[in-house]
Amino acid sequence: MITKSIRLLGYGIFVSAGALVVAADTPAVTYVSHDKVAAALAKGGGLIQTAEFTVSGSHRDKGGQVEVHEKESDILYIIDGAATFVTGGTMVGGKSTRPGQLVGTDIQGGQTHRLVKGDVITVPAGVPHWFKEVPQSVSYFVVKVLKP
């Protein structure tokens, strides 16, 4: 009986230790208040940054530059407004701004999307993309999934 109790105790310690190791590797839950989210959507700004992804709010009142992120996939969710967004094709006038980040002046042969409130669009790493036109303004969330 004592041997069986010792085995059960040993098993219990092993299972508990395993649970602690799994818990230590589990990422923390992150909460961002509505005030911080509203500020990020109004002016643009980061909300969450981890080794695997980032979340930010963005606001534009005009078009931007063509972008290519070599190790970042973008997921955009349009909160308000509208924009003409071009993806794919070939970047024109591309210049490196920092490692893995390129900006350009135009896209040849891309696909044009009219983004409006409620739309979601994903842009895999390495794909040129561009807020070509923003008639009034557009507010959106960006989730960047980071490749190692």
- In degrees to the nearest 10, what's the CA dihedral of 51, 53, 59, 62? 90
Position with higher pLDDT, 5 vs 72: 72
Residues 56-78, mean pLDDT to the nearest whole number: 97
Domain 32-146 annotated CATH 2.60.120.10 = yes
What does the pLDDT look like over 90-109, one tens digit per residue?
999 999 999 999 999 999 99
Please tell me the predicted confidence (pLDDT) of residue 25: 61
Give the DSSP H/E element, type plus range, for residue 103: strand 101-104
Q: Are residues 35 and 20 in contact, defined by beta-carbon separation less than 8 angstroms?
A: no
Residue 114 has pLDDT above 80, yes or no: yes
Single-letter amino acid, residue 21: V
Please tell me the predicted confidence (pLDDT) of residue 28: 86
Residues 65-88, mean pLDDT to the nearest whole number: 98
Please tell me the predicted confidence (pLDDT) of residue 27: 72
What does the pLDDT look like over 1-56, one tens digit per residue?
544 444 433 444 433 444 444 445 667 899 999 999 999 999 999 999 999 999 99
Please tell me the predicted confidence (pLDDT) of residue 22: 45
User: What single-letter DSSP state applies at residue 77?
Assistant: E
How far, in Å, are 38, 54, 61, 81, 116 from residue 119 at the CA level? 19, 19, 18, 11, 6
Indicate the domain borders of the chain. 32-146
